[in-house]
Chain A
Amino acid sequence: MFNADDLKKKFLNDIETARSESQLSEVWKTYLSKNGSVPSLMNGIKEVAKEEKKAYGQFVNDVKNWVQEKYDEKKKEIEALELQQKYERETIDVTVPVKARPMGNLHPLTAVKYEMINVFAGMGFEIFEGPEIEDDDHNFTRLNVLKDHPSRDMQDTFWLTDDLLLRTHTSPGQIRTMDAKKPPIKVLVPGKVFRSDSDATHSPMFSQMEGLVVDKHITLCDLQGMLDEFVKKLFTGDVKTRLRPSYFPFTEPSVEVDVSCFKCGGCGCSLCKGTGWIEVLGGGIVNKKVLENCGIDSEEYSGLAFGIGIERIAMLKYGINHMGKLFENDIEFLKQFKA
């Protein structure tokens, strides 16, 4: 029968020694190109007997396939090797530092504001922002803070005219909301407020967030239930609220809301001054006179309202010990509030 063993042996030797793509292409040229030794085997068909021509053709084809197969294997091997070498050549020190532009971040008061909004948004509260310059009517009178009311003493007001003033609380947002909209109402009013005192614990400008719910049969139980959810979401852990009596002209009954200390769990620590409770906000059942001042039937509807000092929450959440820090805008301070 036909024999190409020498050719195969030589081929195997050549391909074994090939170490690069260029050497491999030499092998290809020698054996597999158009005039290479393998296709040239076919030239021998002229010397083959007629009845064996078919078998010879088959033989050449088999040799060709065998060579091609071995060649392909080797080619893959070399390609993999070369890729490997390329990776090695390109290897870098991944620990070399880069000069990245640092990211900024929100002011802690903004961050806390939106965190609070998120909690209440989930409960169905819309957000309303009223004007910072208000009139007596919205800031006081319609909130049941009458002309001679002692709580006008509590609120040391910056007056601009005998009627216009810098709002002393976000509560005028209650009036503006109820003027624009009838129940069911669930609204949050975040914003800046102004009072004419300034010391270590007061800034002439600070921020509050008012909350108002007006619907049928809203009770003190709802106020506490809702605020329980709020403090649980805002201060992680198993915190709860406590109500105690207070006074605001626009709510009756009025309460101060304390949260159980999230640092010590209520055992007493420096944060809660040993009491186990931290005062976080004020609220109450909307005074029926306020509803009536906004044309809402106090027989049919009732409401709850609360006001939260955003600075206080931010200070508690982040452990900021001095209110003034919030308005100094020291970058060493600001950059610590990346969430």
Chain B
Amino acid sequence: MKVLLSWLKEYVDIDVTPQELEKKFFGAGFEVEGVEYLGENIEKVYVGQVTSIEKYEGTHLYICHIDCGEQGHDHLILTGADNVFQGAKVPACIVGAKLPNGMEITPRKMKDMMSYGMLCSGGELGLDKDWYKGADVNGIMILDEDAPVGEDIKTYLGLDDYVFDISVTANRPDCQSVLGLAREVAAFLGKEVKLPDMSYTCDEVTKPEISVTVESQDICPRYLGHYVYDVQYKESPLWMKRRLIAVGHNAINAMVDITNYVLVEIGQPMHAFDLNTLEGSSIVVRRAQDGEKLVTLDGKERVLGHNNLLICDKVKAVGLAGVMGGLNSEITENTKEVLFESAKFMKDNVRKTARGLGLQSDAASRYEKGIDEYSVECGMARALNLVTTLGVAKVSSTQFDVSAGASTEKRVIKVPTAKVNYVLGIEVPEEEMVRILKNLAFEVELSDGVLTLAVPRYREDIENYQDIAEEIIREYGYDKVVPTFLGEALVTNGGLNAAQSKELSVKNFLCTQGYYEIQTIAMTSKDEFDEFLIPADAKERKVIEILNPITENLSVMRTLMAPAMVRAIENNIKNGNTDLRFFELANVYIPKSLPLTEAPDEVKTLCLGTSGSDEDFFTMKETLENFASYNNIKFTYKRGNVPYLHPGRTAEVYCDGTLIGTFGQLRYDVIDSLAIAKDKKNDTKIFIAELNYDVLKTKFKEEITYTPESTFAKTSRDIAMIVDKKVECGDIIATIEKADALVSEVDLFDIFESEKLGFGKKSMAFRIVFASHEFDVTDEMTDKAVDGIVNLLRDVYGALMRS
């Protein structure tokens, strides 16, 4: 909300500096986002009068003597402009002057003569014709005859003023106006607020054929209309234009400027309809029919629906309620009669209409924040006052007030002072509460510790003791709060629970394995599935879509962690860092059904990614084994199949027979699609693991139980065998483990392929430990077990034992 200091000062006596005012606003809960001084960078420019002027022969210049009153009566200034004349009043820059365009005035030689200053144009002062007439002429800006000689030009042109850009919180729509902020200033400075002049007199003219009908009172609970006539199409006075321009509006014509002025000053959006364009002289407020069209003031055709509220005449739409008028009822120089609108439209409806059509306007952004009915009344009164005082139109007696029936009385609430102090935790004296609330324009009665409060009509946010506590502490001062450390709260037992501690422990463990934790965005694009070669019918493609994504790249919730991991690795490789170990523990989002009807499963997933000269399939497997060991669980592996992983280098990871996830080497064709330099692609291998952490964590041991160390004798034997290359080591180990109850450990200690073994063969050697918790394992038992194992391996895998 932009507000001009001088405008505020019209309604409240401000006797503090702009800097102090900024601090006071801040303390009262209004963050000042910026303070702009209108006369910034204009120095030593004064109203000067040309006492003599003569042509400088042989040049295009004029020699002027300028009287700047107290600032010196005779400044010799040369100018090239030929609109200057003797007696003219002009902005005179004297030596040492500064202008907004960065110019600094020093004595300078022009042809053979010294000039001690400069006469300047409106443009050089940063002004246009709406700020001062003649500011746009090509030449020097000629000032009015009554301009006081010697006055600082900033004072004279109204540039000695400040624009405050104030952030107003959403609960205070009443402060989206000069008047609203003036009320706050009055409260914190302890001053009276003066209301804008809202007086007007209706003459005896009536226009009985006009009618106003509100069909949709649910979204238009109040509609005021007033007929004005004898409309003069003219410009607004300078003071009004300047105020509007200073806060970011354009000056258009007096009628339109008045509606904008009321919007800024009172906070009430107004609309002026050219009565002659209203078929049947009637206003009907109704919902649009589906497909109904309206060309708005910006010249665009809008196609509307049932949720858009329209202002119509008997046959057609003439405005989009609260958002923008229609081009067909615009004020023009031919406008003679106007129907003023001051209405309350529901903020939700205006917001949805504006957003839905992608159409923003000052009115819409004001309506979206919420309008109170008091403003509706004030806005109309102020507009009628202004049309009268500015001679823009005459105010008739034909007026309308269509209300859904809300009370125009103030609400009364009762608040015990003890409740206020209960919230705040300090004792605010009752008389202070009364003083503060009165400053905030509440009508206050205090008896037996209970405040009976009549709430100002514009304070729709005030409902209960908590709201009143906030009003009081805001004005009493937050510095009066005395910090206490949960003085009366019960002691509670805090900290991470077991699962949360474990998660941190798991992360820390991965760090010790050289992995850096990364965080990636949970949204992705559907294109990613193509790049990762996910089949058209794969379940990973059943994604949750965001209805209003900000970009297509972030339009669906991820079902896989790998793509973001690969992107992170890709970016680092692009930056020249190729040795990478990353992990991420985050959710993937799996819908229970599509379209989504209930909250989906958020599956916490652990993703590992590695790349670099020291990394291969088995270094990642080593990490997984260390991970299992750290967590006292056991992983087993099977050959797996993942669309984006190397078909020969992909494994499924099991724990206690449950599939936990997969890992392997990223396919070369996926790497090919990455933005990595071509010559580096051949050297780049990326390894990815994705584990379902929610399942994995159920495998973690919750409690540790001590088992006495076995004192029974163990034995161990080594066996070596030749098998087909295709026989997988994991299968052999699993077979050995299951072959005999005495088998307690099976470790591969040698594996190789060699021509000597025969084509397509490989040799594997295992050390097998035999143990029991009940008895000593003897050599005979061991021999028997080994025989059984050997036979089994021969039968199942055709294994040929080596001695």
Residues of A within 8 A of B (CB): 101-107, 109-110, 114, 117, 120-127, 129, 131-135, 147-151, 153-154, 157-161, 164, 166, 184-186, 192, 194, 196-198, 203-205, 213, 215-222, 224-226, 228-229, 241-247, 249, 252-255, 285, 287-288, 302, 326-332, 334-335
Which residues from B are CB-within-8-Å of A127?
495-497, 500
Q: Chain B residues near A122: list those with CB within 8 A.
A: 494
Q: Is the beta-carbon distance between A222 and B486 smaller than 8 angstroms?
A: yes
Q: Given the complex of chains A and B, what is the CA–CA distance between A93 and B169 in angstroms? A: 68
Question: CB of B92 within 8 A of chain A?
Answer: no
- Smallest CB separation, B551 vs chain A (Å): 8
In the complex, the answer to whether B170 meets A253 with C-beta atoms within 8 Å is: no
- Give complex CA distance A83, B519 in Å: 56
> In angstroms, how far is the closest chain B Cβ from the Cβ of A135?
7
Of B488, B554, B568, B602, the residue contacting A329 (CB under 8 A) is B568
Instruction: Report yes or no: A197 in contact with B550, Cβ–Cβ below 8 A.
Output: yes
Partner of B517, one of A104, A129, A186: A104
A103 touches B514 (CB 8 A): yes
Chain A residues lying within 8 Å of B781, measured Cβ to Cβ, are none
Q: How far is the CA of A8 from the CA of B497 in the complex (A)?
A: 79
Q: List 20 A-B contacts (CB under 8 A).
A: A103-B512, A104-B513, A104-B583, A105-B517, A106-B507, A132-B522, A148-B347, A157-B548, A160-B546, A160-B596, A161-B547, A196-B548, A221-B484, A242-B478, A253-B473, A253-B474, A326-B519, A327-B519, A330-B577, A334-B517
Q: Is the CB of B494 within 8 A of A288?
A: no
Of B26, B467, B511, the residue contacting A103 (CB under 8 A) is B511
**If the complex has contacts A117-B496, A220-B424, A244-B27, are A334 and B518 also in contact, measured as CB distance less than 8 A?**
yes
B480-510 at interface with A (beta carbon < 8 Å): 481-497, 500, 504, 507-508, 510
A330 to B551 Cα, complex, angstroms: 23
Contact partner of B474 (CB less than 8 A), chosen from A159, A245, A288, is: A245
Tell me if A's interface is mostly helix, strand, loop or mixed.
mixed
Task: Check B494 against A125 for contact (C-beta < 8 Å).
Answer: yes
Q: Is the CB of A124 within 8 A of B492?
A: yes
The 4 closest A-B pairs by CB, nearest first: A219-B425, A245-B29, A221-B425, A253-B470
Say yes or no: A288-B466 contact (C-beta < 8 A), given A123-B486, A133-B600, A222-B484. Answer: yes
Say yes or no: A124 contacts B602, CB within 8 Å. no
**Complex Cα–Cα for A244 and B23 (A):** 11
Determine the chain A residues whose CB is within 8 A of the CB of B423 once the complex forms: 219-220, 253, 285, 302
Known A126-B497, A213-B486; judge A132-B587 contact (CB<8 A).
Answer: yes
Interface residues of B (CB under 8 A from A): 26-29, 169-173, 346-348, 351, 368-370, 422-426, 464, 466-467, 469-470, 473-474, 478-479, 481-497, 500, 504, 507-508, 510-523, 544-551, 554, 557, 568, 571-572, 575, 577, 580-583, 586-587, 589, 595-597, 599-600, 602
Partner of B425 from the list A149, A196, A220, A246 (CB cut-off 8 Å) is A220
Q: Do B488 and A216 have beta carbons less than 8 Å apart?
A: yes
Minimum Cβ distance to chain B for residue A18 (Å): 47
Of B29, B370, B489, B549, which is within 8 A of A246 by CB? B29
In the complex, which of the residues A133, A216, A255 has the most CB atoms of chain B within 10 Å of its own CB atom? A133
Could you say which residues of chain A place their CB within 8 Å of the CB of B487?
A: 221-222, 225
Chain B residues whose C-beta falls within 8 Å of the C-beta of A326 in the assembled complex:
519
- Cβ of A154: which chain B residues have Cβ within 8 Å of it? 170
Bound-state CA distance A184–B495 (Å) is: 15
CA distance A184 to B554 in the complex (A): 41
A253 to B26, CA, bound (A): 16
A245 pairs with B467, CB closer than 8 A: no
* Cα separation A114 to B600 with both chains bound (whole Å): 27
With A153-B351, A220-B425: A198-B485 Cβ-Cβ less than 8 Å: no
Contacts A121-B495, A133-B599, A327-B521 given; indicate if A224 touches B514 (C-beta within 8 A): no
Is B28 a contact partner of A245 (Cβ separation < 8 A)? yes
**Known contacts A164-B596, A228-B483, A288-B466: A213-B29 contact under CB 8 Å:** no
CB closest chain-B residue, reference A195: B550
Question: Distance in Å from the Cβ of A289 to the closest Cβ of chain B?
Answer: 9
Does the CB pair A101–B514 fall under 8 Å?
A: yes
- Given A204-B523, A213-B489, A244-B478: A288 and B599 within 8 A (CB)? no
